[in-house]
């Protein structure tokens, strides 16, 4: 028995949480109103002519009784609905907890109509209603049908796709077991869907096992497996499989090229990428905008921006992806002026609006290049787009204004953040510390703790860095051990290097050396670089010479800055033979330091 009012209420509530057919609420109202009216009139009628006929959607022979406001179902499975809303109605009952009614509806409408069932799965899949697919499949399993309504090779790919999209690992494994029991494991369409599902789960072993066990493979099989390796960060294996695919005489199609190009990008394999580009031209796919944009993205990621820009300029239609490829490419190679130039061009020359990614990359470029005027322009554009309240954007704005010397504006952004979090506090602490306000950075750190926000390793690193730049040795030591003792954070090499820097800048060379000796990790070039820098600052030639040369012999550093420190130590004492030796060593090892520069923005 079920109260119609309860059924209606449940359906309406469910309709809010899921995408349902627009007429579903109206239908439930009609169902409740008409059925209640029918039974009420039936119970009070005294003559045959007063008896109203049943509502049009009730099949002849349906028997209901009304008792104390409850509908007693005796033959509910003959309830006939408009076909278009059948799936929505039965799933609404199912999710509202009325499983028996949902099963009755399912058996009546789907049990002898597998085509309708698979069409419903397809509709849900196309609409990305993956939860509904799993609910409907659950009803199929519960129906225990002995008729034709059993899952087939068309059903399983839709359900597997739903599992993959929802990351429903448990359901996916159960589904694979059912597939094997029903004997569909060797079906090429089902197997391809299994490869795709396991790849998205990150279970490449299961995906490869399915792939290797297939009696026959088509192009989709190969593409799915190669894509799985690329998706999970194994580009080498992806390209090896691609070569194996070509060995078996299977030609790459558009999808294959779109999968292989990101693998070339991940490996920075520019020569292979050029070869793929040539194949795309030979295959006649050079007019495919998505594929050409993928080629552009590959060149940009590999750092060959000259070719990337040439392809970009030749594009007939430039979408947001192609603009982002260029902007991101210049950002990753440190060409910040070009990032800002392309963002400006996008605004002036194109009708395409910048995406969220475009804004983030450009804002980071403004921060790194200290371009306050351009940064303020981008900030205004972000506000216009309604993105200024996004947490990531707020953090970048705090960082940008701090790096541009506008600490007051950084505070203004921080005070107006939508939701205080670790990232916004870390950005503020970093901004305060970089301007030499070490004690204020510590105060901000402890204020954050009082707010109940736990710091991570990066936050502690920023606090230690603030102590280093402002000579807060005692505080730096306390923060370091507080991190280990109170929060159980295991120090990384960066933490150790920063403490060496804290001690070294304060002239505590011997203590810094003892700290290095007690490290549980083998000190790397960052730690020794901090130590050597301290020796240079405080003119400790003996320690600098001893351990500087030892690191060169044992570690063979490739960092130009390290050699420069060693050079300055010898040069300060006029030991020119050693200076020339180190310079020759630098040339032999091919270690070169990028030229530094300072930026001054006029009228800012």
Residue 371 is assigned to a structural domain of this protein: yes
Element (H, E) at 73: strand 70-73
Cβ atoms of 270 and 234 closer than 8 Å:
no
Q: How far apart are CA 314 and CA 437, in angstroms?
A: 50
Grade residue 602 by pLDDT with cuts at 50, 70 and 90: low
Q: Which residue has the tokens 């510590």?
A: 442
Q: Which residue has the tokens 């787009």?
A: 385
- Alpha carbon distance, N-terminus to C-terminus of the chain: 75
pLDDT at 26: 36
Which residue range forms the structural domain that includes residue 365? 318-408
Grade residue 2 by pLDDT with cuts at 50, 70 and 90: very low
Element (H, E) at 65: strand 64-67
Tell me the CB-side half-sphere exposure of residue 434, using CA atoms within 13 A.
Answer: 18
Where is average pLDDT lowest: 269-273, 334-338, 550-554?
A: 550-554
CB atoms within 10 A of CB 266: 18
Please state, in angstroms and as integers, the Cα–Cα distance from residue 531 to each residue in 512, 542, 557, 579, following that order: 7, 13, 15, 19
Please state, in angstroms and as integers, the Cα–Cα distance from residue 275 to each residue in 141, 142, 285, 443, following that order: 50, 53, 14, 57
Pairing of strands 70-73, 64-67: antiparallel
- pLDDT tens-digit map of 31-52: 444 334 433 444 444 443 443 3
Q: Is the per-residue pLDDT at 56 higher than 50?
A: no
- pLDDT tens-digit map of 148-204: 568 889 999 999 999 999 999 999 999 999 999 999 999 999 999 999 999 999 999
Q: How far apart are CA 58 and CA 142, in angstroms?
A: 25
Cβ atoms of 206 and 173 closer than 8 Å:
no
- pLDDT tens-digit map of 399-427: 999 988 899 999 999 999 888 899 999 99
Q: Is the per-residue pLDDT at 430 higher than 50?
A: yes
Q: How far apart are CA 332 and CA 487, in angstroms?
A: 34
If one compares 561 and 140, the residue with the highest pLDDT of the two is 140
Grade residue 12 by pLDDT with cuts at 50, 70 and 90: very low
Token representation of residue 529: 């670089």
- Bridge partners, 64 (sequence order): 73
Q: Which residue has the tokens 């039965």?
A: 90
Grade residue 363 by pLDDT with cuts at 50, 70 and 90: confident
pLDDT at 99: 79
Q: How far apart are CA 410 and CA 428, in angstroms?
A: 7
Q: How far apart are CA 237 and CA 266, in angstroms?
A: 12
pLDDT at 383: 86
Residue 414 is assigned to a structural domain of this protein: no
Cβ atoms of 594 and 571 closer than 8 Å:
no
Which residues fall within 8 angstroms of residue 401, CB to CB, at 6 or more apart? 372, 375, 407, 409, 410, 413, 431
Domain boundary among 408, 427, 443: 408
- pLDDT tens-digit map of 470-518: 999 999 999 999 999 999 999 999 999 999 999 988 989 889 989 988 9
**Mean pLDDT score of the chain:** 79
Please provide the DSSP assignment of 513-529 as one string.
HHHHHT-SSPP-HHHHH
Grade residue 59 by pLDDT with cuts at 50, 70 and 90: very low
- Bridge partners, 72 (sequence order): 65
Tally of structural domains, the chain: 2
What does the longest C-alpha to C-alpha distance in the chain come to?
Answer: 123
If one compares 513 and 89, the residue with the highest pLDDT of the two is 513
Residue 497 is assigned to a structural domain of this protein: yes
Grade residue 560 by pLDDT with cuts at 50, 70 and 90: low
Q: How far apart are CA 454 and CA 448, in angstroms?
A: 8
Residue 243 is assigned to a structural domain of this protein: no
Token representation of residue 266: 């991940």
Domain boundary among 355, 377, 408: 408
Strand segments (E) across 118-252: none
Domain boundary among 408, 425, 446: 408
pLDDT at 166: 94
Q: How far apart are CA 587 and CA 547, in angstroms?
A: 22
Residue 32: phi and psi, rounded to 5, are -65, -45
If one compares 368 and 111, the residue with the highest pLDDT of the two is 368
Q: How far apart are CA 487 and CA 481, in angstroms?
A: 10
Token representation of residue 106: 């399912």
pTM of structure? 0.62
Please state, in angstroms and as integers, the Cα–Cα distance from residue 404 to each residue in 339, 370, 399, 408, following that order: 17, 5, 9, 11
Residue 66: phi and psi, rounded to 5, are -110, 120
Where is average pLDDT lowest: 235-239, 547-551, 564-568?
A: 547-551
- pLDDT tens-digit map of 519-536: 998 888 788 878 888 887
Same-domain pairing of 496 and 595: yes
If one compares 13 and 267, the residue with the highest pLDDT of the two is 267
Q: How far apart are CA 222 and CA 7, in angstroms?
A: 48
Average pLDDT over residues 132-139: 89
Q: Angle, to 10 degrees, between the axis of helix 560-572 and the axis of helix 576-589?
A: 170
Residue 555 belongs to domain with CATH number: 1.25.40
Q: How far apart are CA 500 and CA 482, in angstroms?
A: 17
If one compares 105 and 487, the residue with the highest pLDDT of the two is 487
Where is average pLDDT lowest: 58-62, 293-297, 544-548, 598-602?
A: 58-62
Q: How far apart are CA 474 and CA 455, in angstroms?
A: 20
Which residues fall within 8 angstroms of residue 596, CB to CB, at 6 or more apart? none
Q: How far apart are CA 408 and CA 432, in angstroms?
A: 10
Residue 114 is assigned to a structural domain of this protein: no
pLDDT at 16: 34
Q: How far apart are CA 330 and CA 342, in angstroms?
A: 9
Residue 551 is assigned to a structural domain of this protein: yes
pLDDT at 592: 52
Token representation of residue 560: 């130009």
């Amino acid at each position: 028995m079920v109260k119609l009012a309860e059924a209606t209420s449940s359906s309406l509530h469910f309709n809010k949480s899921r995408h349902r057919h627009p007429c579903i609420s109206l239908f439930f109202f009609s169902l409740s109103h008409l059925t209640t009216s029918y039974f009420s009139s039936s119970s009070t009628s005294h003559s045959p002519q007063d008896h109203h006929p049943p509502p049009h959607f009730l099949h002849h022979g349906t028997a209901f009784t009304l008792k104390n406001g409850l509908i007693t179902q005796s033959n509910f499975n003959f309830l006939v609905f408009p076909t278009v809303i059948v799936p929505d109605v039965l799933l609404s009952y199912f999710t509202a907890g009325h499983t028996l009614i949902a099963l009755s509806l399912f058996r009546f409408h789907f049990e002898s109509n597998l085509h309708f069932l698979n069409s419903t799965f397809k509709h849900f899949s196309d609409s990305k209603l993956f939860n509904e697919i799993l609910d409907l499949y659950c009803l199929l399993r519960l129906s225990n049908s002995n008729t034709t309504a059993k899952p087939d090779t068309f059903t399983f790919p839709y359900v597997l796709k739903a599992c993959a999209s929802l990351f429903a690992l448990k359901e996916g494994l159960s589904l694979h077991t059912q597939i094997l029991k029903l004997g569909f494991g060797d079906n090429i369409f089902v197997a391809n869907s299994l490869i795709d599902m396991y790849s998205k789960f990150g279970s490449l072993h299961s995906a490869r096992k399915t792939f290797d066990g297939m009696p026959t493979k088509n192009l989709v099989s190969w593409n799915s497996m190669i894509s799985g390796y690329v998706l999970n960060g194994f580009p080498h294996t992806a390209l090896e499989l691609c070569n194996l695919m070509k060995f078996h005489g299977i030609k790459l199609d558009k999808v294959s090229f779109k999968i292989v190009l990101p693998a070339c990008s991940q490996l920075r394999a520019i020569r292979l990428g050029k070869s793929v580009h040539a194949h795309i031209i030979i295959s006649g796919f050079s007019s495919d905008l998505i594929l050409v944009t993928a080629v552009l993205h590959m060149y940009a990621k590999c750092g060959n921006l000259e070719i990337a820009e040439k392809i970009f300029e030749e594009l007939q239609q430039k979408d947001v992806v192609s603009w982002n490829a260029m902007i991101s490419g210049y950002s990753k190679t440190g060409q910040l002026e070009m990032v800002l130039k392309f963002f400006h061009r996008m605004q002036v020359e194109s009708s395409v609006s910048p995406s969220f990614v475009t804004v983030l990359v450009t804002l980071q470029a403004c921060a790194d290049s200290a371009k306050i005027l351009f940064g303020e322009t981008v900030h205004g554009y972000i506000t216009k787009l309604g993105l200024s309240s996004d947490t990531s954007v707020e953090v970048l704005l705090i960082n940008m204004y701090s790096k541009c010397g506008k600490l007051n504006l950084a505070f203004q952004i921080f005070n107006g953040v939508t939701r205080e979090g670790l990232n916004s506090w870390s950005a503020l602490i970093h901004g305060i510390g970089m301007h030499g306000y070490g004690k204020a950075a510590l105060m901000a750190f402890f204020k954050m703790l009082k707010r109940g926000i736990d710091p991570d390793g990066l936050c502690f690193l920023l606090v230690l860095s603030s102590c280093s730049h402002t000579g807060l040795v005692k505080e730096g030591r306390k923060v370091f051990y507080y991190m280990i003792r109170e929060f159980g954070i295991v120090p990384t090499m960066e933490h150790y290097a920063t403490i060496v820097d804290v001690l070294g800048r304060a002239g505590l060379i011997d203590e810094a050396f003892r700290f290095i000796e007690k490290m549980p990790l083998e000190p790397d070039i960052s730690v020794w670089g901090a130590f050597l820098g301290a020796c240079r600052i405080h003119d400790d030639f003996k320690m600098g010479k001893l351990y500087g040369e030892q690191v060169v012999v044992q570690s063979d550093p490739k960092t130009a800055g390290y050699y420069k420190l060693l050079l300055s130590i010898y040069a300060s004492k006029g030991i020119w033979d050693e200076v020339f030796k180190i310079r020759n060593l630098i040339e032999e090892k091919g270690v070169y330091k990028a030229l530094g520069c300072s930026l001054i923005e006029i009228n800012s």
